[in-house]
């Protein structure tokens, strides 16, 4: 049914003009104007309505009442229109005709109108049953009709809002707020902020208004100041923030053509242009726009936090003492659970109160009153060079940095009042520095502060395994100030987007750390953390963390366990404080893994100490010198850089040279070796380079045994690109006449052994069952020790036994048959007893062995393969 109504057409026309004026910037008060146009419509239709007159005449007076946002006169383009048609005692049937007359034209014109028809009694009952109705009633405003019905309704409503109902209502407001945080989250600094329902959205202001209306008789927003809920300063800031957000919300409604309150990413650039933002000082308009928006939303959020503190307080305690209570800091007092300066003039004599108030607030967990925030801002100029370096003030600042986690973030207030910038002037350059992308949610200043807050949250012992790891690592850090100051300053270099911020940060942070009285070591540590704050995150995602070399090179950059601990927590806090894109279980796992693996390398110290580095550097130089004639320096360097640190540390320079030459000549062959004779000795050195195949090492040992070549010592290494480099020191065959032919035979055997897995079975039978040892004391039995903790990458197996021909083959064959690959072997020098060390990994998964059963099985099978040890002397005596 379509009802033609000239009033509706007038309304539509007026609204269209108003929108035009709004878009061109001619309309100053859109929300109120649209409200009054609607009011006019309802008033005119009501005046002209015959059905309305009938109802009034038949003794059913009623009022038309605006609820919710319409009641508050805050009507955006596509906001809902909530209407209440309220009767004194009973609802007559004619109301249906009236509603049709009144609302059909609006619905036809696609206004979102919701309405309710109730009696006073019904409406009051429902208000106390359903709190969402109650909050709309709190904003009820009379439009037209019988004003007496409206006033008697409001009077009854107010009188009932006391005692238990009052308490319930406050409870509701509190719970509603908690639920809202859960449902909508914190909208300040979201990629797509919810201008209405999220924290920092308009709902924060609504909550304050509702709370104030429940507690006193205020009717309008303006009353918030008159009734003392806000100071003039706060009220002005509120007006300013609301006007800004409403403007955006209204434009958003217009752009999307519907009631859309979420400022999605794709609208943000357009919005910035519409609002007249310009690119300035290298910062795009959209970043400047978002910076300002987040600032306003932050204010609403702070207001809401304080409202919450108030509600909490009102719920708990019935009577509040109006008398200020002293605090343990002289010059600061508590009134109504807020912190105030006792005497503003005193700040002039003791400017350190400007810092003390934050420390007191954080320690006592009492928020600063907004009044105190204003005072702090106004006296901010007292924080001068002298104060910035004063040891007592510096100490205060460090204690503020280390305050335990609290939702009401004291550092945030320090930032919003400008004191943080006064104390660390370099901070100004990153204030409200938004990075416009899906990844970074927070402006750099807020991000830095969140980072500090996350680190302080590690103080709490954790409920989950990860939280307890963070808590444990945090506890292990001795000088927490270094970590905290690095967290605060890690992005200080972001002031100039064109430069690499980590390096730039070091330059800027240096003088700050001096002012804050950090000693040279602390300063060096903090600067290291700033410069390398991306190291772990980058390495974890861009390099293979299952490769030992990744952990070794990370350990080499970091160098010290205390730095690794701090860098780890800084990385976690930095990622957590960036936003959900930067932090999730997946990333957490990668970073934790890299941390623990690097820790393993640093703790062992073998591969990442300064001394190791010196030795390796020296060796690289030696190799370069030896290869200078036939090789270009660059290609040797490339080769050397691709080799593992362990290899470079333990293999002599001459063998490395051999390996490099062999590697070049390997081509398609499975392996290639070179046999050299040592000066003045029978010993031969066999350098081997081959394609890594499971059992390779065992097979070499096997064919040496088969060909009566006695192994004196050997080292085996695998190269990252699936090649192996081995060095064997061997005694040549006893009969040296046909030595060359004998080596050729061995080479032939190895080729066959690599092809045929059972080629060496015949050699197995030649391993002796018992071994008679002659020594002064009774010989020890063979031992196998398995170390599964030292390395994150390998299971380390040590075999202690007596040497005999075939020893290496018997052990490595047992390893191979157990599905293990020997990645590193150090097979010892030739005194009677030997300790052979093998770094092994599971062939199947290319990782260390985790199962205890499997470890036990390996141990047993090695021991079983070794000959029984007996004493020779006993036998001799018998003979």
Tell me which residues touch other proteins (CB under 8 A).
465, 468-469, 472-473, 476, 541-544, 546, 584-587, 589-590, 592-593, 596-597, 599-600, 721-722, 789, 792, 844-848, 850
Which one, 169 or 571, has the nearer CB to other proteins? 571
Residue 430 DSSP one-character state: G
Which one, 587 or 801, has the nearer CB to other proteins? 587
Which one, 196 or 592, has the nearer CB to other proteins? 592
Which one, 321 or 638, has the nearer CB to other proteins? 638
Rounded to a whole number of angstroms, the minimum distance from the CB of residue 237 to other proteins is: 42
Rounded to a whole number of angstroms, the minimum distance from the CB of residue 736 to other proteins is: 41
Rounded to a whole number of angstroms, the minimum distance from the CB of residue 438 to other proteins is: 13
The Cβ-side half-sphere exposure at 415, using a 13 Å CA radius, reads 26
Q: How far apart are CA 183 and CA 200, in angstroms?
A: 14
Which one, 619 or 848, has the nearer CB to other proteins? 848
Token pair recorded at residue 71: 């009641």
Phi-psi region of 282 (alpha: psi -120 to 50; beta: other; left: phi over 0): left
Which one, 9 or 541, has the nearer CB to other proteins? 541
Contacts of the segment 846-853: beta carbons below 8 A, 24+ positions apart: 846/546, 846/821, 847/546, 847/793, 848/788, 848/791, 848/792, 848/793, 848/794, 848/795, 849/788, 849/795, 849/820
DSSP-derived pairing of the beta strands 81-87 and 113-119:
parallel
Token pair recorded at residue 167: 């308490």
Q: How far apart are CA 85 and CA 540, in angstroms?
A: 64
Which one, 257 or 472, has the nearer CB to other proteins? 472
Q: How far apart are CA 274 and CA 195, in angstroms?
A: 17
Rounded to a whole number of angstroms, the minimum distance from the CB of residue 845 to other proteins is: 5
Which one, 20 or 844, has the nearer CB to other proteins? 844
Rounded to a whole number of angstroms, the minimum distance from the CB of residue 541 to other proteins is: 6
Which one, 544 or 670, has the nearer CB to other proteins? 544
Rounded to a whole number of angstroms, the minimum distance from the CB of residue 787 to other proteins is: 12
Which one, 273 or 589, has the nearer CB to other proteins? 589
Which one, 542 or 758, has the nearer CB to other proteins? 542
Rounded to a whole number of angstroms, the minimum distance from the CB of residue 827 to other proteins is: 25
CA distance to 385, 397, 432, 485, 516, per residue, from 481 (Å) = 21, 10, 25, 6, 11
Maximum pairwise Cα distance, the chain: 138
Rounded to a whole number of angstroms, the minimum distance from the CB of residue 265 to other proteins is: 18
Which one, 167 or 538, has the nearer CB to other proteins? 538
SS3 of 725, please?
Answer: strand
Which one, 524 or 547, has the nearer CB to other proteins? 547
* Closest C-alpha to 82, from 72, 94, 96: 72
Rounded to a whole number of angstroms, the minimum distance from the CB of residue 365 to other proteins is: 31
Rounded to a whole number of angstroms, the minimum distance from the CB of residue 75 to other proteins is: 34
- Say what angle helices 265-274 and 232-256 make with each other, to 10 degrees: 110
SS3 of 547, please?
Answer: coil
CA distance to 135, 171, 180, 236, 843, per residue, from 308 (Å) = 16, 11, 13, 21, 60
* Closest C-alpha to 621, from 606, 636, 643: 636
Q: How far apart are CA 747 and CA 703, in angstroms?
A: 8
Residue in this structure with the two tokens 């009709």, named with its chain if needed: 145
Torsion of CA 94, 97, 98, 103, to 10 degrees: 150
Rounded to a whole number of angstroms, the minimum distance from the CB of residue 267 to other proteins is: 18
Which one, 629 or 721, has the nearer CB to other proteins? 721
Which one, 591 or 834, has the nearer CB to other proteins? 591
Token pair recorded at residue 695: 């059992």
Which one, 273 or 468, has the nearer CB to other proteins? 468
Which one, 224 or 469, has the nearer CB to other proteins? 469
SS3 of 728, please?
Answer: strand
Q: How many other C-beta atoms are found inside a 10 Å radius of the C-beta of residue 821?
A: 24
Rounded to a whole number of angstroms, the minimum distance from the CB of residue 425 to other proteins is: 39
Rounded to a whole number of angstroms, the minimum distance from the CB of residue 573 to other proteins is: 18
Rounded to a whole number of angstroms, the minimum distance from the CB of residue 497 to other proteins is: 22
The Cβ-side half-sphere exposure at 26, using a 13 Å CA radius, reads 6
CB crowding 241-278: b at 16 or more within 10 Å, else e: bbebbbbbbbbbbbeeeeebbbbeeebbeebbebbebe
Please, is 667 exposed, middle or buried when counting C-beta atoms within 10 Å of its C-beta (0-12, 13-18, 19+)?
exposed
Residue in this structure with the two tokens 């640190």, named with its chain if needed: 645
Rounded to a whole number of angstroms, the minimum distance from the CB of residue 601 to other proteins is: 12
Which one, 57 or 463, has the nearer CB to other proteins? 463
Q: How many other C-beta atoms are found inside a 10 Å radius of the C-beta of residue 524?
A: 14
Are 79 and 72 in contact by the 8 Å Cβ rule? The answer is no
Q: C-alpha angle with apex 122: 121 to 125, nearest 5 degrees?
A: 85
Q: How many other C-beta atoms are found inside a 10 Å radius of the C-beta of residue 381?
A: 10
Rounded to a whole number of angstroms, the minimum distance from the CB of residue 576 to other proteins is: 16
SS3 of 710, please?
Answer: strand
Rounded to a whole number of angstroms, the minimum distance from the CB of residue 835 to other proteins is: 24
Rounded to a whole number of angstroms, the minimum distance from the CB of residue 691 to other proteins is: 10
Q: How far apart are CA 302 and CA 294, in angstroms?
A: 12
């Amino acid at each position: 049914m379509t009802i033609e109504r000239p009033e509706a057409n007038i309304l539509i026309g007026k609204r269209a003009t108003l929108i035009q004026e709004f878009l061109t910037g001619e309309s100053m008060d859109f929300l109120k104007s649209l409200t009054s146009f609607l009011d006019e419509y309802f008033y005119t239709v009501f005046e002209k309505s015959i059905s309305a007159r009938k109802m009034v005449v038949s003794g059913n007076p009623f009022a038309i009442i605006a609820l919710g946002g319409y009641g508050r006169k805050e009507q955006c383009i596509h906001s809902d229109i909530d209407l209440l048609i309220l009767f004194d005692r009973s609802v007559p049937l004619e109301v249906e005709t009236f509603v049709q007359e009144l609302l059909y034209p609006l619905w036809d014109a696609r206004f979102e109108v919701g309405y309710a028809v109730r009696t006073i009694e019904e409406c009051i009952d429902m208000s106390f049953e359903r709190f969402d109705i109650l909050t709309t009633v709190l904003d009820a405003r009379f439009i037209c009709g019988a004003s007496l019905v409206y006033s008697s309704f409001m009077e009854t409503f107010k009188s009932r809002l006391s005692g238990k109902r009052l308490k319930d209502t406050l409870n509701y407001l509190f719970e509603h707020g908690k639920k809202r945080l859960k449902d909508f989250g914190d909208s300040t600094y979201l990629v797509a902020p919810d201008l209405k329902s999220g924290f920092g959205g308009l709902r924060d202001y609504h909550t304050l208004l509702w709370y104030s209306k429940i507690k006193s008789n205020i009717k309008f927003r303006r009353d918030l100041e008159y009734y003392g809920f806000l100071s003039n300063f706060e009220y002005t800031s509120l007006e300013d923030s609301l006007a800004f957000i409403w403007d955006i919300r209204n434009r958003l409604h217009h752009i999307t053509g519907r009631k859309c309150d979420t400022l999605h990413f794709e609208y943000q650039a357009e919005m910035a242009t519409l609002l007249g933002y310009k690119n300035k000082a290298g910062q795009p308009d959209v970043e400047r726009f978002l910076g300002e928006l987040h600032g306003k939303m932050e204010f609403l959020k702070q207001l809401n936090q304080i409202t919450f503190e108030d509600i909490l307080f009102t719920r708990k305690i019935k009577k509040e003492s109006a008398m200020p209570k002293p605090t343990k800091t002289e010059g600061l007092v508590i009134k109504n659970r807020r912190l105030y300066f006792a005497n503003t003039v005193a700040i002039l004599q003791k400017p350190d109160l400007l810092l003390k108030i934050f420390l007191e607030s954080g320690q006592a967990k009492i928020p600063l009153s907004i009044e105190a925030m204003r005072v702090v801002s106004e006296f901010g100029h007292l924080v001068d060079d002298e104060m910035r370096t004063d040891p007592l003030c510096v100490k205060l600042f460090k204690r503020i940095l280390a305050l335990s986690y609290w939702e009401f973030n004291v550092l945030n207030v320090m930032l919003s009042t400008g004191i943080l910038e006064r104390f660390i002037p370099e901070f100004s350059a990153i204030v409200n520095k938004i990075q416009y992308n899906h990844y970074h949610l927070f402006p750099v200043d807020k991000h830095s502060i969140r980072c500090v807050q996350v680190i302080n949250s590690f103080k709490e012992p954790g409920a989950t395994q990860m939280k307890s790891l963070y808590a444990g690592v945090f506890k292990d850090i001795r000088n927490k100030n270094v970590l905290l100051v690095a967290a605060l300053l890690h992005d200080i270099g972001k002031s100039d987007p064109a430069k690499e911020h980590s390096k730039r940060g070091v330059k800027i942070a240096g003088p700050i750390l001096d002012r804050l009285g950090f000693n040279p070591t602390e300063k060096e540590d903090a600067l290291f953390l700033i410069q390398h704050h991306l190291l772990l995150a980058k390495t974890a995602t861009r390099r293979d963390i299952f490769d030992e070399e990744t952990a070794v090179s990370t350990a080499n950059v970091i160098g010290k366990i205390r730095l690794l601990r701090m860098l780890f927590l800084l990385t976690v806090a930095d990622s957590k404080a960036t936003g959900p894109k930067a932090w999730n279980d997946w990333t957490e796992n990668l970073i934790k893994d890299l941390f623990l693996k690097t820790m393993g390398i640093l703790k062992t110290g073998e591969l990442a100490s300064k001394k190791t580095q010196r030795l390796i550097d020296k060796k690289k130089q030696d190799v370069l010198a030896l290869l200078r004639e036939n090789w270009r320096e660059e290609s040797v360097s490339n080769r050397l850089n691709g080799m593992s640190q362990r290899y470079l540390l333990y293999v002599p320079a001459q063998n490395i040279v051999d390996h490099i030459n062999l590697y070049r000549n390997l081509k398609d062959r499975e392996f290639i070796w070179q046999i050299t004779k040592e000066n003045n000795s029978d010993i031969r050195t066999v350098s081997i380079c081959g394609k890594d195949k499971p059992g390779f090492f065992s097979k070499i040992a096997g064919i040496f045994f088969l060909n009566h070549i006695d192994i004196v010592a050997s080292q085996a290494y695998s190269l990252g690109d699936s090649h192996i480099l081995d060095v064997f020191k061997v005694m040549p065959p006893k009969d040296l006449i046909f030595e060359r032919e004998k080596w050729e035979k061995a080479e032939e055997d190895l080729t066959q052994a690599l092809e045929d897995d059972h080629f060496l079975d015949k050699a197995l039978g030649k391993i002796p069952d018992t071994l008679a040892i002659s020594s002064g004391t009774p010989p020890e039995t063979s031992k196998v020790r398995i170390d599964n903790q030292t390395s994150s990458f390998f299971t380390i197996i040590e075999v202690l036994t007596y040497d005999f021909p075939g020893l290496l083959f018997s052990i490595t064959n047992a390893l191979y048959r157990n599905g293990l690959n020997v990645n590193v072997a150090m097979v010892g020098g030739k005194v009677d007893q030997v300790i052979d060390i093998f770094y092994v990994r599971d062939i199947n998964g290319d990782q260390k062995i985790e199962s205890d059963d499997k470890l036990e099985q390996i141990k047993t099978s090695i021991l079983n393969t070794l000959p029984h040890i007996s004493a020779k002397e006993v036998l001799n005596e018998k003979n």
